[in-house]
Amino acid sequence: MTIIVHHLENSRSQRVLWLLEELGLPYEVKRYERNRRTMLAPPELRKIHPLGKSPLIEHDGRIVAETATIIGYLVALAGGRLGPPADTDGGLRWRYFLDYAEGSLMPPLLLSLVIGKMGPFGWPAKGFVEKMAMVHIDYVEAELATRPWFAGPEFTAADIMMSFPLEAARGRLKLDGRRPTIVEWLDKIHARPAYKTALEKGGPYAYA
């Protein structure tokens, strides 16, 4: 059964399209536009899942939500391709970065975005939040300095999971020229044919 991706523009669901392209699994895209005033997802997504968030996929009568859960589901569906490396350390890194991307790295970046929209009211917190975010960026920079990909020597779904927060960080924290290893990694993933095809199918993506 073909996978249906409920894809919201400029959102985490771009990673799902990219993973599907890397895995070569058949899928269809149902695209949703953000509200131009609030930039929130449209109410139509609540008809698919009560939280009305994206990404969501439909497959074999199931609705699957949350990016890391979707990634695990699709990797299993593809027979383990782009899944955890066979060695214990690589497998732990794979699982860790799937969780770390949204659980630890993304929150300060989201705070930075919100504070940036508050104008002068956000200035008192701006420096603190950016400092907090840069602790994570320095950590990621050091990790990528030890190996070419997040889980080990080979590209995996952990790299796909990490793409969204690092793409956001590149612009929000002005990383070009400051964290060369992260920028090199981002340029490397953007050059992948599957990444480019996913962009064509998903439409404009502000963080690419």
Question: How do the pLDDT tens digits run along the chain, 208 residues long?
Answer: 799 999 999 999 999 999 999 999 999 999 999 988 888 899 999 999 999 999 999 999 999 999 999 999 999 999 999 999 999 999 999 999 999 999 999 999 988 877 777 777 667 777 888 899 999 999 999 999 999 999 999 999 999 999 999 999 998 899 988 899 999 999 999 999 999 999 999 998 888 6
Q: Are residues 70 and 117 in the same domain?
A: no
Q: Are residues 94 and 156 in the same domain?
A: yes
Q: Are residues 175 and 120 in the same domain?
A: yes
Q: What's the structural domain count of the chain?
A: 2
Distance CA 54, CA 43 (A): 12
The answer to whether the CB of 55 falls within 8 A of the CB of 7 is: yes
Has residue 208 been placed in a domain?
A: no
Q: Are residues 72 and 142 in the same domain?
A: no
Q: Are residues 22 and 40 in the same domain?
A: yes
Q: Which tokens is 125 given?
A: 């917190």
Q: Are residues 180 and 144 in the same domain?
A: yes
Distance CA 159, CA 101 (A): 10
CATH at 126: 1.20.1050.10
Q: Are residues 14 and 49 in the same domain?
A: yes
Q: How far is CA 126 from the centre of its chain?
A: 24
Give the structural domain span for 153.
Answer: 88-192
pTM of the model as a whole: 0.94
Distance CA 99, CA 91 (A): 13
Cβ neighbours for 68, distance < 8 A, ≥ 6 positions apart: 98, 99, 101, 102, 161
φ and ψ at residue 56, rounded to 5 degrees = -140, 145
